[in-house]
Amino acid sequence: MNSGKSVELLKIAHNYEEQGKRVMVLTSALDNRSGLGVVSSRIGIGRPATPVPQGDSILRIVNATLSTTTYVDGHAIWPECILVDEAQFLTAQQVTDLATIVDSQDVPVICFGLKIDFQGKLFEGSKALFEMADKLEEIKTVCQWCGHKATMNLRTCEGKPVYDGDQVQIGDQEYMAACRYHYLNPQI
């Protein structure tokens, strides 16, 4: 939380496009805080993206998108990069779809998302990415109380910490980045 994942995705998309390269941006259809199919950052920048419903095939979505693009010699022009926001909400099969694209089309896929939920458990998409990704990079943030590295996502409700409930609850202000100590001992 609050590490700049979406800003980094938007920066990478901008850099590719500034060089005249095509980018496909995907995001989970579960996250509609800024509207369906929108990647946005807390600092106020955003862009449209293709929403990915949880049970849908990313291969189907990408192929459907490519079918509306320019063709050269009868073949759709693939993007030079695929960027995925909120990748923790992907299913294991959707991560496999992304790996298939990397392996069969030689297109880099860069995913951004949380590692763990508010209970310290891996999301399905995160687990699959840890198992299949060629490379993992952590974007760090700090605990809002002590400034140490934040490794946990504290969910709150009416100012009180919440440790039980559904894994997925889309929100923003009710989540706080915390170190392990302050996750268990929040100063709220």
- Report the alpha-carbon angle 158-165-7, nearest 5: 70
Active-site residue set? 86
Distance CA 98, CA 90 (A): 10
Q: How far apart are the first and last CA of the chain?
A: 18
Residue 87: name the closest of 52, 119, 60 by CA: 52
Residue 76 identity (one-letter amino acid)? A
The sign of the CA dihedral 54, 102, 127, 7 is: negative
